[in-house]
Structure 1
Amino acid sequence: MTTVLLLVLSNLFMTTAWYWHVRGGAQAVEARPLMLVIAISWGIALFEYCLAVPANRIGTLNGWSAGQLKIAQEAIALVVFGVFMVVVLKEPLHWRHLAAFACIMAAVGFLFTGK
């Protein structure tokens, strides 16, 4: 459970680091200096690493394989991004997003079957 919680928190930081600056459309994006955006995003991503690395170590110590850790991270990232996309970026959720989520969840099921 600790692994999943840390992965959720790390994904909140990474999604923010990658996408906070695209909020507001093309004019708003263009108005933000790229080097400043990169510097701010690196600062945010530092917190992601401080959570993701321990999550992966704890998961490994609890018997998770690297593949299981990665696919769990991807599933969590998809959920976190879906919420971020709707709440922060104000973009609508479509059936395609749900279909992609279902595919990732199927991958999670395959990797954790028999574990």
Structure 2
Amino acid sequence: MKKPYRIFTLLITFISSLTSFASVLPTGFTEKRLATGLDPTGMAVVPDGRIFVTIKSGKVLIIKNDVLLSTPLLTIPNVDNFNERGLLTLVLDPAFATNNFIYVYYTFKNTGT
């Protein structure tokens, strides 16, 4: 008697979790794809409207005026991007508007040299 009840409970839980993935945008919002084929790990929106996107392999890309620029803002050497490692995120300095500092969090690859 308990086994069918458990299966039913698991089935209902699974089905209800699927519906939670559907998102409805608030009134006035639109959805727009700006880039494809990336392996992004984080992003930050700069006060001037640019978007900085961190890529696991160690690059910080720039999206400006809805266009992905071909030249990265930053390329970090010796990033260990195996499994869950890599360039994980970035944050803007609280005084970014005046000093343009960003901080990145990544896994350094020790090459033994």
> Could you state the TM-score of these two structures normalised by the residue count of structure 2?
0.23
**Greater fraction strand:** 2
- Flag the structure with larger Rg: 2
More helix by share: 1
Question: Which structure's relative contact order is higher, taking Cα pairs within 8 Å and 6+ residues apart?
Answer: 1
State the TM-score, normalizing by the size of structure 1: 0.23
